[in-house]
Amino acid sequence: MSGTRQLHIGFCLTPTWLKGRRAEPDELPSPHDPASFYIDLAKRAEQAKLDFAFKVDYLAFNPAMAGGQGGPGLEPNILLAAIARETQRIGLVATHSTTFNPPYIVARQIQSLHWLSQGRAGWNIVTSIEGAENFGDAPMPPPEARYRKAAEFTDVVRRLWQSYPPSGADGLPQAHPIDHAGEFFSVKGPLNVRGHESGPPPIFQAGASDIGREFAASVADATFASAPDMAAGIDLRSDLRARAERLGRRADDIRVLPGLYFFLAPTREEAWELHRRAHTHLNHERRVESVRTVLGLDISRLGPASRVTPDMLPVPDAPVRSRTHADLLRRFIEANSPTVEELLARPEVVGSAHWVSVGTVGDVIADIVEWFGAGAMDGFIALPGGSTGSLDLFLEEMVPALAARGLFRTEYEGTTLRAHLRMS
């Protein structure tokens, strides 16, 4: 529907619907052919006309991903290159860390994927919160240093993408060095993979802390935002749009796409049972420990009805594992002074700060319509929860229902990720 605001929908290539339960062998990636599992998922997402398939990545051993529910931790660019050969339209977004990789390598990898997919590649920038022990003896840099490095890294990658354009004035490619010398990197260039005629790969970014928001507003075409409730989504989107304009960009240049962790079933009772089952492994003690890990706050001696008030919070700059999740949980406590029971049920505590919606297809669509109408997001990245049936309902019923309402496409109008994201 040309001229009508529609959702952007991506799909996370991780079996989130198996979280919290023991999966059957046929539900998991095969140890002998793990790529086929993800290729089949991407094909199904493409049949639903989704904007892109999104691959997270870890540069450290993660028991939940390596050999567990996610199967082998395949390198994202290699996996997405295999998917590119088996799909035609869906975008392919790879995660690469700016803390541990050299920019020339990442620029080359993403540009190569852009060519293999004929303009469908995207780059999800992360600064990483762990993994330093796999790249030397130096400790993990503080957030401020990681984001300074990320800003320089991103600038270098973008200049490298421009250093070998599709063609020059005479119709032939004209490569040129970038001669970069900065705080973290010295890169001569040019890149040895020329640019694609469709334009450079779109850039995604996931940080929602203050420093992460500033970085996202400066470079991101889309954000994989953490927004556990609609108020947080409205705040994040309005803040990012204002920051983008202050930095000389248009507000619409940045698309806010929270992760939507949903539990779909034919009835609400069945959906809530899926949600309960997915979190049974998180007992009271583990949730209390999660609050301590996320926020640095010990609530172990408080009763379920006790209030957690702003004056109990640690100092804002106290060391935490993830500044994004800590800031989100701080804002919730400052605004609500929740009971311990309410706090322990929060997405930031039981999951990863994503928006959670539970119910029938109609219930979850109602949530999406409310968030979209309120300006809390421009779309979402799908994280099906609870069961394979929840995944099937999303792809086979929910997305077509959104399309029937005019909120999503019925057919692809373009062939590139830039076209799907409606980038000029």
To 10 degrees, what angle do helices 210-219 and 230-246 make?
50
Helix axes 323-336, 284-295, angle to 10 degrees: 110
Give the full edge-to-edge strand order of the sheet including 8-12: 255-256, 222-223, 203-205, 121-126, 91-97, 52-55, 8-12, 379-385, 259-264, 355-359
Q: Which residues of 242-274 are buried (b: 16+ CB within 10 A; e: fewer)?
A: ebbeeeebeeebbbbbbbbbbbbbeeeebbebb
Q: How far apart are CA 203 and CA 94, in angstroms?
A: 10
Asked whether residue 57 is marked as a ligand-binding residue, the answer is yes
- Token code pair at residue 362: 């109609």
* Residue pair 231/370 in contact by the 8 Å Cβ criterion: no
Residue 53 CA to residue 90 CA, distance in Å, equals 7
How many helices (H) and strands (E) would you count in the chain? 15, 12
Residue 98 marked in a binding site: no
Q: Give the 3-state secondary structure of residue 124.
A: strand
DSSP letter (8 states) at residue 397: I
**CA–CA separation, 255 vs 258, rounded Å?**
10
Parallel/antiparallel/unpaired status of strands 180-181 and 186-187:
antiparallel
Residue positions counted in the chain: 424
Question: Could you check whether the bond before residue 190 is cis, i.e. omega within 30 degrees of 0?
Answer: yes
- Residue of 380, 369, 392, 348 whose CA lies nearest to 255: 380
147 annotated to bind ligand: yes
How far is CA 418 from its chain centroid?
A: 17
Contacts of 192 (CB under 8 A, 6+ apart): 108, 164
Cα-only R_g, the chain: 21
Contact 161, 111 (CB under 8 A): yes
Nearest C-alpha neighbor of 279 from the set 68, 21, 65: 21
The response to whether 95 counts as a known ligand-binding position is yes
CB count in 10 Å sphere of residue 294? 22
Binding site for FMN, by residue number, is 57, 95, 147, 209
Binding site, by residue number, is 57, 95, 147, 209
